[in-house]
Chain A
Amino acid sequence: MKLLFPSGLWLFAALACVIVIYLLRMPRRQIAVADLAPWLNLARAGRRISNERRTMISLALQACIVLGLIFGFARPYFAASTGGHCELVLIDLSRSTRAHDDTPLKVLDGTDKPSTKGASRLDLEKDALRSMIRAMNTDDRMTIIGVAGRPVIVASGESEPAILERLVSDLEAQDESAAFEPACQLVMELAKSEKNVRATVICDGSTDSKEFTALNALPSDAGKIRVVVTGKNSENVGITGFKSRKTFNSDDIEVSVTLFSSASQPLKVPVELYLDAKPQSASIAEIAPGESKTLTFQMGYRLGGVLRARVALQDACLEDNEAFDYLPAPRRTRVTLVTKEAMDEKIANDYYLAKVLRCDTAIEGGFLPSSDYEKIAQDKKALKSQFDAVIFDNWTPTAEQMPPCHALFVNAESSDIPAAVKGMLSDRPLIRKWDEGHPLMNYLNLRDVFLKQAKQLQLDDKSTDVVAELVSSPLILAREMGHRKLAYIGFNPADSDIQFKKELPLFVLNCFEWFKRGVEPVTQIPPGEPMKIEITDSTWKSVVVFPPDNAAPQKVAVPEGAESVLFYDTFKPGIYRFMGDAEKTPRLGFAVYFGSAKETNLNVSSAIQIGTADEKGHIADNRAELTAVDKLVEHHISSQMWIYFALFAAGLLAVENYLFHRRVFF
């Protein structure tokens, strides 16, 4: 059961009045008398009115009480105008309406929690709208359009105040910017089919007049457009941009935090960065009024989790003091080193190529001799699933045994690299040229590399890049085949001093960086934008998405063979985690984050102007009329007249009670 007038429950207070009156007459007045009879006679004699008349008066009083209640319930009023209005109301529901303008600015230390002071801008907007609703005549109708990222019709031509009030109570600010332009166009469309239209804009004031231009086309009989501004200039600093990304050619993460200040004075703002609630870094940004500033934090990409930036301030809008991004756990590339001969654990780990793999924490290394590799290669499923990349050192398998993943061929030829070996260059060949722009050559200087011998190659294939070359032959080659990336070295590093130089580890590590390179996964979207979830496991029949704040999980069915699915319910900012139906805990996720300098700027713009602009852009006849909240109510007294009837009834009840229920105890 729901209540149409929940506020009517205040009338329970009347019950208290009844109880008080009852209690007041409870103790019977005790009068000590010697004998009852003379007093009874005297009392009878003292009655000024007869019993019959007395009953009639009581009846009249009770009838008046009932009449008073009936009139009160009927809510009588005196109409100030003739004919019903069609009220078209635009109410701002953007992020900035969450602001509490009276909140004092304060830097938060340690575990201090911020608090707000006063009513929010949205609460003030709702109060203004409620005043309008209470002032409605019976033949008035109201259409309320909530304005956030998209205009939403909250109430359409509704005349019942109770319903309107309930709808207004349910209004909530959205994490979006207010798009008044389409909302004004919607008003124009609605106004076309209505008579006696009157438009009202209720906003927090941080809007641009240009967005209301469409309202100028309202017919002239609609009169002035009432504009109610609930906001006032307030001190606020917020995060307007937050993004993390992997640094190019490095295992570091770069996190940028953009701040905006609408404070009236320059501020030193503490900004903190957390990973899974653990502080990672903190800094102090000096920011001038009305200015944007971007801070960059650098951190090692060692762990994944929820990245959260926080402005440690108490200010008017607390919602823009935090920002989120999702940092996927770093995935270690499974690299297998394959050589012709078997090696025991110690020798394998001391092998010069293995040492390169060991130095990179982003690599999960393993070693296999060629014989074991050939056994695995017979199982195509294992070949596909067990390796992310393979290094073939001085040995290659047959074309059928090639793994469907990235590969580095060290002094070993493969049909995947179409280069023919013409012979050996054994007279200390000179590296003549290398492509500094190629990802394999980052930070490399091959000038000083000494080779005892190298292979003389002939390359006719144009899809293969020559990354480094000798005077008479290509030396290092690179090729992309679909999703596979292949690299080839035409010499044995063991026959060169490259094994002692930084060039060998850098080259091998560059190979893996290049192998990994691809489209960065989407980890952050704005509210309302659909999220594309990649299906990383073909056995998933559905994807379970866990919205923020422990909301109920949602299931998205995965069509047969689909590589991704779309998740649409992303309106609430926060961290969404997801998993396949076969998994027990969600390993992946994404962040929904809204940041906007427009919404963080809580300064109220100068007066809104709606009208035809001349050549210089001046508006001579401003149709917008800044209206105070109390001016929205045109027949305030008459609309509240029911209270007087109710009070009249209550007064009569008290009188009747005193006159006819006074008891005297002898």
Chain B
Amino acid sequence: MNDPRALQQLISRFRSRLAFGGAVQAALKALIWGAVAVLMLMLILKCAGFSKRVALISFAAIPVAVLAGGISGWRRSRCSPYSAAKQLDKHLQLNDRLANTFYFLSQDPAKRSPLAELAIADGLNTARNAKLGAFTAFRWTRRATYGVLASLLCAGWIFLLYPPSVIPAELAVAQDTQDEMKGIIKGLKDLPGVSAEQKDEIKKMLDTLNISEDDMNKMTRADLMRMISAKGIDYKGGTGKAAAFEAMKNAIGELDAIRQQRDEIEKKNKEAFQIQLANGQKITGVRISTSAPSEKIVCERIQSSIGIKQASESDELEQLQKQTALAAENAKTMRTKIGLKTSATTKVDENALLATNEKYQKDRDDAIKDPNSEAAVRVKKAQRDIIQGELDKGDIPAGTAEKLKNWMRLDK
């Protein structure tokens, strides 16, 4: 009947609620100090020239302050069971019945007076029926409001001190360009016919470049180009493939221009070729569709800057190259003989003619007769390989080379 556990449980629950509430309240009170510390720290870090990333660390002051406040609040709100019983009496308006019970219970049962026994019985009965309800020792204070507001202010403060760098669209690296560059870099890794030495070179180059997508988004195009250029200069000390860096840098600038030019050309290609005469008559011809430039141009330039050559298509190439060299040698000898070495014009001697190979001669004659024949395909392949070889030498300017490549693609 006189089981004191009900009272002890009630006091214990009340104590824990007191401790929790006190901790929360103190934590909220400490919030303002945390916020003030953040504001000060950020200002100091900004003045000291630290980056935004470092300044963000100062936000740790808020949880630290809250934690410290909470701990101190928890410690401060700890009280003895008797004191808790007194507070509980006050809260439940029990006129110290619980506190007295707790006190009497602590006495030796043998020495208790009947009055004390009665008080204990009454107290324990009250404790059993007592309901703490939604009691909490926590109350929202004005200081807590200020603390929350100051914490929000900190978020604004960081934007004020470190305004987000918004890169205008025309200066940013366009997503299309980023994707294209990624494709080109991936393509470099997987190119067929690349020697092991070239693969090592490409790997080394890409390792040197190593610009993350995140970095690309934060940089202007000019910054990115500058960075590639700087890395190219550093790389120069290596194996002398800095031209590839230059090609990559130029690619970033050119990709947008290619896209814009392609749109303009494709729009024009769709227009009818029509001429209106003074009498109102319209003469309609055929629009010759210009081959619109593609991103492939940029990719090819990067490949050629690394020294990757297109695989030859023709079986007759080797034979043709030998004949070309022989013919050139013969022509040179003949020119020297007739004293034309320094002449502005070039003369060819009959003996120096190419195409002594009978198979090629036959193919050539058949190709002229029927430009769509199989022979014509073989001749075209051989000629494409020769042209590619000449383009690889780099004597023909890039713009003209681009047109020749277009022509070869159309003639396939």
Contact = CB atoms under 8 A, between A and B. Distances in A.
Interface of A: 109-111, 247, 249-252, 270, 272-284, 298-303, 312, 332, 336-337, 343-345, 348-349, 352, 354-361, 363-369, 372, 375-376, 378-379, 381-382, 386, 430-437, 443, 446-448, 450, 452, 494-497, 499-502, 505-506, 509
A365 B368 contact: no
Contacts of A349: 286, 288-289
Nearest to B410: A355
Given A110-B220, A434-B346, A505-B407, A361 B379 contact: no
Contacts of A443: 395-396, 400
Q: Give the interface SS of chain A, mostly helix, strand, loop or mixed.
A: mixed
A432 B233 CA distance: 48
Interface stretch (B93-101, B129-137, B352-360): B352-360
A368 B221 contact: no
A448 B355 contact: yes
Interface size class of B (residues with CB under 8 A): 35 or more
Given A282-B226, A282-B249, A344-B286, A506 B400 contact: yes
Contacts of B252: 279
* Highest count of chain A CB atoms <10 Å: which of B219, B260, B328, B398: B398
B194 to A, nearest CB: 26
Contacts of A378: 277
Contacts of A430: 348, 350, 353
B376 interface: yes
A272 B226 contact: yes
Contacts of A247: 397, 399
Nearest to B277: A379
Interface string B311-333: 00000000000001001100100
A448 B330 CA distance: 13
B170 A278 contact: yes
24 contacts: A111-B166, A111-B220, A249-B397, A272-B226, A279-B225, A279-B253, A283-B226, A300-B398, A302-B258, A302-B260, A303-B257, A344-B286, A355-B411, A358-B410, A359-B403, A360-B406, A375-B277, A382-B276, A431-B348, A446-B348, A448-B354, A500-B411, A502-B386, A502-B390
Contacts, number: 246
Contacts of A281: 225, 249-250, 253
A367 B404 contact: no
A365 B290 contact: yes
Contacts of A436: 344-346
Contact of A312 (B222, B379, B396): B222
A433 B290 contact: no
Given A381-B278, A502-B390, A505-B404, A302 B293 contact: yes
A563 B345 CA distance: 40
Interface in B277-326: 277-279, 281, 283, 285-293, 324
A347 to B, nearest CB: 9
A7 B402 CA distance: 66
A283 B252 CA distance: 13
B141 interface: no
B229 interface: yes
* Highest count of chain A CB atoms <10 Å: which of B229, B288, B368: B288
A272 B225 contact: yes
Given A349-B286, A359-B407, A378-B277, 10 more contacts: A110-B223, A275-B257, A279-B225, A344-B286, A359-B406, A360-B290, A361-B403, A367-B285, A379-B278, A430-B353
A349 to B, nearest CB: 6
B171 interface: yes
A448 B346 CA distance: 13
Contacts of B410: 355, 358-359
Nearest to A270: B226
Interface string B375-391: 01001100100110010
* Highest count of chain B CB atoms <10 Å: which of A250, A276, A358: A358
Contacts of B220: 110-111, 279
A447 B323 CA distance: 12
A345 B390 CA distance: 33
A447 B354 contact: yes
Given A361-B265, A497-B364, A505-B407, A249 B286 contact: no
A111 B160 CA distance: 17
